[in-house]
Structure 1
Amino acid sequence: MLHRRQALVDRLPDPHLAAGQADVRVGQRRRVSRNVGCVEGRQELLGHRHRAGYGALVVEHGTTLATRPRAWQGGDVTTLPAAGLHADALVVDTHVHGPRFVPQPFRSLYRLVNRRTMPADLGFDVLAASGVDVVVGTAVGDPVVTRWYGRDAWHAVLTQIDQLVAEIMSVGGSVALDVAAVRAAHTTGRPSLVLGLEGADAIGSDLDRLDELHRLGVRTIIPVHLGDNPIGTTSLPWQRYVGPLPVRRSRRLGLSSFGRSFVERANRLGIIVDVSHADPTTTMAIVEASTAPVMASHSGARACDDFARYVTDEEARAIAGTGGVIGLWPYFHRGRGVRSLDTLLGHARHLVDLVGARHLCIGTDMNGVPGLMDGYRGEADLSVITEGLLRIGLAEADVRAILGESFLRVLEAVTGHE
């Protein structure tokens, strides 16, 4: 554990926060203004900063709270609350993809189109040094990906599952079927993979394929991805990501009768239904139909930004009402998403105030997006989010919940056992 903590400290932009970020503490607990809401660029809310000598004097409402100490000289990394907490917590990224989920040469072509913004493809070998203990690794069953495999969609999904399993095994990790397996792996310092599927198009009209996916280890499914399907309708078709292209909706918005049967079967099997990408009508119908917690693994607050991929306050309360979780998502591309850490923290503050930290998680969409927020390029920067959550005044227990414990609570509730 000690070498892991040292690696995390080395990866922080500055052991005592980067320029312009104040370390405001009373004892070991940070305090900042809680009047954050959905505001971007909260330097004004955090007070005026003045540089002098070796540290930064922090003044809030005319009162000196703390001075930033001199550069860290080694020793116990728990003197750095964010690094120590991130290293000690059980950290779960609730939505990632493997580095090969889009086959070549199509992956390279996609990268060429987005060459100015697209982050590097990352393998699971980055997890340990980044302090990430568990990833929900998702295959994609939507035609936006499966068409490039040259085979039917079902076999494209099976190929991706094989890739994900091989990737976690290559770094000494294992596939976790429940929370007990996650915690057992964590005690030995090994990463875990919880298998997921994004876009259930590949099951067609055959619900027995849900049983097959469960047998293979899949524990989370996003029914609807970038296009409408027989289950439900999407919040943002792929054409709208590309530009103002025409979109022909193939059916009435919302969850179909087949979709309700899908939710019932997933509940019975112990598979989490993930409403990321579903439109509000579909989301609310899934919440109503589900007898188990529902999640939105990578999303945001629509009250902060009217982006169709984010959940409304009504949806957020409904998801939380099932016992579920909503994932903070560091996506930014073509002016949509969270531009900076401060923007992401605004979403976090709003959702914490609305539903509580026990209903939040973090889903980064590693390898799955053409752009990310400023200052975040991959799992190695996840500790920056940890620092930010502390900076906006969240208690350590709340930060631990967001980092992983909230998702594990949902996984335990849905799979039916620890």
Structure 2
Amino acid sequence: MIFPRQILYGSDLIKSYLLESFANKDEIDKNFKKSLKIKKNKKIIFTSKGRTALYLILKYLRIYKKKNEVIMSPFTIFDLVNIVITSGCKPIFVDHKEDSFDMDYDRIVKIIRKNKKISSIIITHYSFNSENLFKLKSICKKYNVKIIQDCAIAASSKYKKESITNLSEYSFLSFNLFKFIPALTGGAIITDDNNLYKYANKEQNNFNVFNLAKLINLEVKSIFIKILTNKIIFSLITFHIFKFGEINNIKWIIKFTKNDPNPYLRKKLDDFEKHKLSKFQIYHIKKKFINIKKYRKIRANNFIRLFKSIKSKNVKLITPSKSTEHSFINFPILVNDKKKFRNFLFQNNFDSSKYFYRNCNNLNIFKKYKSDCKNLNKFEKQLIFLPIHHKITKLHINKLAKLINRY
């Protein structure tokens, strides 16, 4: 279930609302741009959600390029696929390489060369940044296929000490209590396409600003989550509830640990997505970016420490590329029997997660887009995530590694 402990310093939006008029906004803006490290020609358009940001990019490209097919990995939240459909586009699911977060490069190239309806390809950055981004740049340029970087969980990722969003025309970010920027809600487009900038702002002019009542409602929910994930309450109560549910396969408890528990098909934006952020929401998000480098460094150190310490032959480690600074949102491993391994951790009071994203290729609601994804099927069955968030201590990492080495 792994609840990222950034929630513990999470949403203080109401406080931001009250203090905004006294804030030094110039200083916040300066530190925001410094922490993000995007090129000067890039523009940032804030949105109600990361999904709204992707919707605006895809709809814009569909209208202006007059092409409507989008290559993507089905290993994502189901509603991201819905957003592709909602924008008037058709998702083309591509299998991954064996034991990898990356889509099959050769298969992507074949599709691009044969299919003239391809408008764009969504490159999703997971715990590690996608290597496909670098490999696909030339072929995409040749066939005028736009690369859209899904940086929903990669806001802190860097290439040559600058934002990874500098490497394509289109990127989008996502902010919520389980992301690096723990806002109640929000997303952003990062682009150097002036026409998209104008289009997205024009579209959002028709959206309503979130009112304070709706934000207070979200704040109440966030307080409930923060209570459950408080370090003491989590260790004494919350963890043991989830432990009991997982070991005994209690579906309603397991369902609560998923970030997209009830897959459904939709073909239009919901009312929440048809909102735009207020000025003080944007101020709040910018303020949260200031510590992003600090917390990423802690996660990176935790990752390296755990990676070097795990020696078990029954656990397969996934080696990240050294060419970029990854988000390190969690620590992925592969095991043959997920339930057995997780029960072993639970019995020794260690947390883990069997679920982060789902294989949308296997959902009935998307059966018309189904493709051969045998590698991803195997990958999903073996994939487990271990926590490496900034509240994890060295002692915890060392104990976890010793336990895994006994497995």
TM range, smaller chain: under 0.3
Give the TM-score normalised by structure 2.
Answer: 0.27
More helix by share: 2
Give the TM-score normalised by structure 1.
Answer: 0.26
By relative contact order (CA 8 Å, sep 6+), the higher-ranking structure is 2
